[in-house]
Structure 1
Amino acid sequence: MFTLQSLLRRAALELRVLVPGDPGALEAPVAWVHNTELPDPSAYLREGELVLTNGLWIGQVPAARFVQNVKRAKAGGIVFGLRAELPGTPGELIEACRAEGLPLLEISVAVPFTAVSKAVADLLADERKQSLVGMVRRGDALATAISRGAGASGVLDVLRREHDLPLAVVDRMARSLAVAGATLDVDQLQAVAAALARKPPALEVELGGAGLAALFPVGAVGDIDAALICLRPLRELTTPERQALEQTARFLSLEVAKQQAVQGIEMRFAGELLEMILSGGWRAAEVPGRLRAFGVDPDGPLAVCAVAFAGGEAATLYGLAEVIGEFFAAEGVPAVVAGGSQDVVAVLPWRNPEPELPMLAQRLAGSVERRFPGLRPVVGLGGLAAHAAELRPQLLQSREACRVLRRTRTGPSVRAFAELGTHRLLLGLLDTETLRHFSGSLLGPLKDHDRRRGGELEPTLRAFLDHDGQWAATAAALHVHVNTLRNRLARITELTGRDVARTEDRVDLFLALTIEAMDWAQPG
């Protein structure tokens, strides 16, 4: 947009300022020019337009009324054109403009209004040309920065060379990807992530002490994955600044998409490593090489931790692997981090004393909780593996410890497998296939019965054991009569060969149900 000052600099227009208007009015953007002789042109004026008039309305309305009408439409000012019949601008018009703080310019008889319109068109065309040229140059610079691997920080540097703005790039997991002239704390990062989660994303976000900040969404693979943040409200940004920010946000989408692709490859690579550890056999021979690819020494002591959220569904694990990876990177600990369907597992070298591992896990839980407010992270630990060949039992133990913690609403957020109940510790020492065979042989007949006849034998057994063998409490929980419960338990005894009235048989059934719930053979 042009300004009144830019018109005044064109001597050929022979413009003269009679009333400068409110402070800064002469430098304010003007939308266009509007030639009118209506006593009340407010219905036809757009905000910011410059009114051109010869005063033919004089005699129909007082000058003060005409000026008020123009002011009400939020026009940018008035240019009064002198004519032979009126060689001077009326004093009442000058006073009215002064009273309303509206700029008033005078143009000589020799200069037609068409000259003003042409000058405005030239100014806008030149402005548009400069904007396009600047956009092309900026685009070249942004593309060069990305192609050279400058990353999000390099992209912001390109923008900052043109506009001195406080900038940051934040993704929807509240991670700061880059900053330039700005600093965001944890609460501010969380506020940006919350704004991105809205449908549609917010255009401004309140950042506490930093006030309102403009938000320019950055899309990557079919969704809004990050935002370019300018620590200024939208109303304070000029049109060129907004255009530059919008263009930069589009280029940042390329960088974010590239980062996501790299992270996706790393996650798949890490997931394959866990499958190799769990499967054993010939694939276990590939584990050391995979560990080395992540910077983890396979020949030294290794620790495994499994992380999830207490009571959380699998959907809550989104972004958890990335946060855990960032934590270990900040700690200076190389780690393989892989997300599963129920938890996220990290394998890391550990040459420190074993008692220090829970302390690291506590810091990890605290870091995750800060990034996922409202959720309770839990960390399960296995024992230390002397080398890569011993990782499998430690991986299983850490996941079992995590699974137990997930079922608790209170209590410790970090627990080692050795701290679990004795029966779980003993189960963890046995071969998985043996355990699954034991569980399947006992529970298989119950499952077949329930599947064929739509029965409730297995749920009945679980409820009976959960209520410590109390008949009345179990019947009440199942909403059945005690006689119905007795008939079901008798049928369970018949199918399994285990009498629930005998302690040793009840232990077998309890262990079979516990083994099935562990489901250790599942990699996710």
Structure 2
Amino acid sequence: MSGSHAPEDDDGVLAVLALLAEEAPPSRFEALLQRARRDPADPAELARVERAVQLARDVHASLDRRQQREAGFAALVDTARDLTFPYDLDTLLSVITRRVRLLLHFDMTYVALGDGENDMVIHTSEGSTTALNTGLRVKGGSGLGHQALVSGAPLWTADYLNDDSITHADSIDAVVEAEGLHALMAVPLRCGDTAVGVLYGADRKVRHYTPDEIGLICSLADLAAVAIEKTGLLQQARTHVAELELDGFRTRSSLARLEQLGEACSRIMSLLVAGADLTSVAKAAGDALDGTLQMRDPAGRILAAGGEIPDLDEEAVARAVLAAHAQRGPVEADARTWVTPVIAGTEDLGVLVLRPVAQLVGQDSWLLQITAQAFAVHLLMQRSAAVAEGPVRDELLDELLAAPASTHPPHQTAQRARRLDIDLDQQHVVVVARPEGGEQGRAVVWASSYAYRMSGLKTVQSGCIVLLLPATDASAAARAVADELSPLLGHPVSVGAAGPDWGAASITRMYREAMRCLDALTALGGAGCAASAQDLGFLGLLLSDDYDVDGFVNSAIGPVLDYDADRLTELTRTLEAYFASGSSPTNAAEALHVHPNTVSRRLERITELLGADWQKPGQALEVQLALRLLRAQGVLRDRRGQGGSRHTDEGQ
């Protein structure tokens, strides 16, 4: 036979070697062995062939293991390279579980990480058939993973549910059963001395893992632990970088805002130095704070405003004012409004109310405080100017109160008043205030500032502060003085007022009337109250110099008189009959010759016009006095008319 011989033609052992050299598959060795057994010519030769085939099998197995290890090492290198990429944690865990499943031919792989306590949470799963695995919390002390963490070495079982050496937990067993798992391996993920979690591999059949497989998954677990640790550090670094970038942005924004606030503060101070009024300062401060700003006095009245604040909750503002003075700084009245005190030392000069377009941030509250200090400086400057001009202004008011004994002609007095920005030709009221305790000096200083601020005059006579103020409502002016001065002194202040009137000649009369009103308050036990002659009803009529009978009658029963005049009714006549009959509707009906129901309806109408309290003793007395004055006026007019007729007849 020419050429090379086939392995079958050679000696049996040589044939095995030839097949081995050709890297023939195991089936060729089995075929050679079967032929040798069918023709057992030499038992010794058959034994040598069987021994050679067995050795060939071992060589094949060794080569297979070597190839598997080489493939495993190559895959390990590829995995190590993959794990060097900058993944986020979730992506990294997905790469790890996918690689482990492919390399070791698991049916399912998953990773559990510690939650900072004694439990673990399964973060990522590969090959699962249910949604029960991911997110499962593995309680401390239970399951194969915790045992692997405690031992610090990989643990495995060929059949998890039937392995009594494992501490089982119902939640874990339920997932294992739902996934149909049997074999399970748990490898701790350790980076140095720190365990970050557990890597699991599982099969849906009973499987016994080889040492090579266990070694490979341990190597993969070590790489995974380092990658997880690196990813965590990288995420921390990214977080720190992001925080640093954010801090840098905030710092740049704060610097820019500080520059803006500095410029705004300079504008406000420039306005103060230039002598601008409070309204101009409030407008500039409101523009700087991107909102509407109001300056209010201690009584809550608006002294200056950069605009109107709609839907302002005054009760919330009042509560915030108390908190702002207690904290000596800005306080939120509500989600849209801020309040800050205007103070000089311990003295309350008022508050600022701000409605910003957007919420105050950063240094905005600082500018609000600076603005409050600017307003305080402005008010103190006004007070200083008022004190400096005080003697001149006091002298003018003293002369006006002393008229007509004043030696200065009226036109000279008017000129002096105009030089002090006082227009005596407009309506004024006179307010007399008497502090009921405390030092008078502080009240006098306040009065100088208040008169200057209100474009009025102030003086002190007989221990009382006298103010001449431009106003049209004496009662309101009296209450305003009491509301602001009494909290400042910490003691009650009795205030009487009179007016309004105009012209220098009326000031003396208003002063005497205001003093009588103040004396009447004291006599009536009303010390610490504020009122005008009009507030005292018929007592004010008696105290008044001009005896304004028509004004008193109109204030007492004016609505009834107007109703009768407009509708030609007899409510006034019904009132007279009602009081004349001892407040009896039945007797009044007899006197009027009408049905009692008619009187009742008329009394109901009178109640609508005069208010529910018109039958109470105080108001009833004023109503009866007004009715008598009205009747007396009518009689006097009739008599004057008759006397004039007789005089005319006699003349003819």
TM over 0.5: no
TM-score, normalised with respect to structure 1: 0.44
Query: Which has the larger helix fraction?
Result: 2
TM-score, normalised with respect to structure 2: 0.37
Of structures 1 and 2, the one scoring higher in RCO (CA 8 A, sep 6+) is 1
